Amino acid sequence: MKTDAIEISASSHTYPVHVGTGLIKQLKKLIGLAGATDQRFIVSSTPVWRFHGPTVEKSLPQTEHLLIPDGERSKTFQSVSRVYETLIRTTADRSVTIIAVGGGVIGDVVGFAAATYLRGVKLVHVPTTLLAQVDSSIGGKVGVNHPLGKNLIGSFHQPIAVVSDPQVLNTLPRREFRSGLYEIIKYGMIADPKLFECVRTNLSGIFDRSPKVLESIIATSCRIKAGVVEKDEQEHGLRRILNFGHTAGHAIEAATNYRRFRHGEAIAYGMLVVSNIAAKRGIFSENDRASLTEIIENLGPLPSIRDLSAGMLLEIMKRDKKVSKGHLHVVMPTGIGTTKIVNDVTTREWQRALKTIGVGP
């Protein structure tokens, strides 16, 4: 059984990200090698458990599990509290290893619980969405949303292992699958023109969920994020490039109460917004902007944003966690595979770019 293990060196410890078809059947072995204890506790969601619970239980017999609500609107303190309560009732001590089986929301909620329960216990991510496999399961960011903004409450807590099995993506709805592809496009835009081109020219194989193609683009995306995280674990500088498209994207999610958009869809709009600003500034070529627009359009339709207003989105952006000393740091593309960070985007530039993608005044 082929596996592609990517080592991530964090300040606290080094951990593996395993990428390979069928790896979910080897969970006990893989997490055991990473130092998981016999006292294990799984947290997942009902839909994920329906599809993958039997396989996980077979791989990790006699392991208790808790199912919590999934979806961005469930990324709250209430969900974290449910995890705390169950751990306390089962007398889980500091040797417990918590295993998050699910998408990005499950990973973030469970990760925040692991970071704070008894001041920190071991965590394993078993991501079951493409978005989580290439992004949220790697790098140690954990947390919950606040009604006034996304990911405002959180911490850094690195897992002891990540196990990504492309085979579990076969049960993923097409829209959720596309959501992850937007994030992979982001990696191509910020660091790897070859990855961008691979997605552009292999959409048929990607949507057929070819294990060979998926293993390749997932592993490449993980390596890109690993390289960034190792150099800037807590987002003081370089790691900000991972936020390409997230400024407007997070605002779009918050403005619609996290109901209308999948995360990747909002980020797709966000990438279009900043690429428009960069093109107008003359630092991003019109040809590259057109290539980005084309690949996003070829993935399928995005939900409408016609009823949103630029004023509303700009007000939300002011509370963005990337604001520092009154300045909003924005990742701008300068080419396919290169970016720069600026903090001088004007209100007029935002308004014009938002209007270009269909947002109202």
- Give the pLDDT score at 195: 97
Boundary residue ending a domain (124, 145, 172): 172
- Give the pLDDT score at 4: 63
Instruction: Tell me, yes or no, whether 308 lies in a domain.
Output: yes
233 pLDDT band, cuts 50/70/90, is confident
Give percent above pLDDT 90 in the chain. Answer: 83
Residue ranges with strand state E in 52-211: 64-67, 97-102, 122-127, 141-146, 149-156, 161-164
Instruction: Tell me, yes or no, whether 204 lies in a domain.
Output: yes
For the cut 90, the answer to whether the pLDDT of residue 319 exceeds it is no
Asked whether residue 39 falls in the same domain as residue 155, the answer is yes
Asked whether residue 202 falls in the same domain as residue 138, the answer is no
Residue ranges with strand state E in 31-121: 40-44, 64-67, 97-102
Asked whether residue 159 falls in the same domain as residue 192, the answer is no
Asked whether residue 300 falls in the same domain as residue 212, the answer is yes
- Give the pLDDT score at 361: 77
3 pLDDT band, cuts 50/70/90, is low
Asked whether residue 266 falls in the same domain as residue 331, the answer is yes
Comparing 10 with 192, which gets the higher pLDDT? Answer: 192
Check the CA dihedral 235-240-243-247 and report its sign: positive
Instruction: Tell me the catalytic residues.
Output: 119, 141, 183, 225, 235, 239, 243, 246, 250, 263
- Cα separation, 128 vs 165, whole angstroms: 8
Q: What is the pLDDT of residues 34-84, one digit of tens each?
A: 999 899 999 999 999 999 999 999 999 999 999 999 888 899 999 999 999
CATH number of the domain enclosing 132: 3.40.50.1970
pTM for the structure as a whole:
0.92
Boundary residue ending a domain (140, 172, 204): 172
Which structural domain range is residue 251 located in? 185-356
Amino acid found at 217: I
- Give the pLDDT score at 297: 96
Instruction: Tell me, yes or no, whether 180 lies in a domain.
Output: no
Q: Which residue matches tokens 């596309």?
A: 178
User: Distance between terminal CA atoms of the chain?
Assistant: 54
> What is the total count of domains within the chain?
2
Q: Which residue matches tokens 């999934």?
A: 70
Q: What is each CA distance from 304 to 6, 212, 255, in whole angstroms?
A: 38, 34, 13
Instruction: Tell me, yes or no, whether 91 lies in a domain.
Output: yes
- Give the pLDDT score at 321: 64
For the cut 60, the answer to whether the pLDDT of residue 24 exceeds it is yes
Q: What is the pLDDT of residues 250-284, one digit of tens each?
A: 999 989 988 899 999 999 999 999 999 999 999 99
Instruction: Tell me, yes or no, whether 21 lies in a domain.
Output: yes
Asked whether residue 213 falls in the same domain as residue 79, the answer is no
- Cα separation, 336 vs 85, whole angstroms: 47
- Give the pLDDT score at 2: 53
Instruction: Tell me, yes or no, whether 351 lies in a domain.
Output: yes
- Give the pLDDT score at 76: 93
Asked whether residue 138 falls in the same domain as residue 229, the answer is no
10 pLDDT band, cuts 50/70/90, is confident
Mean pLDDT value across the chain:
93
Instruction: Tell me, yes or no, whether 41 lies in a domain.
Output: yes
Out of 3-12, 130-139, 232-241, 290-299, pick the least confident: 232-241
- Give the pLDDT score at 163: 98
Asked whether residue 199 falls in the same domain as residue 220, the answer is yes
Instruction: Tell me, yes or no, whether 122 lies in a domain.
Output: yes
Pair 39, 72: CB distance under 8 Å: no
Q: Give the tokens for residue 226.
A: 């690993």
Q: What is each CA distance from 266 to 164, 189, 247, 293, in whole angstroms?
A: 24, 16, 10, 14
Asked whether residue 26 falls in the same domain as residue 106, the answer is yes
Q: What is each CA distance from 267 to 55, 94, 127, 263, 273, in whole angstroms?
A: 32, 37, 19, 6, 10
Give percent above pLDDT 70 in the chain. Answer: 97
Rounded mean pLDDT of 12-22?
94
Boundary residue ending a domain (145, 172, 199): 172
- Give the pLDDT score at 328: 87
Rounded mean pLDDT of 100-108?
96
Asked whether residue 332 falls in the same domain as residue 209, the answer is yes
Pair 106, 45: CB distance under 8 Å: yes
For the cut 90, the answer to whether the pLDDT of residue 291 exceeds it is yes
CATH number of the domain enclosing 270: 1.20.1090.10
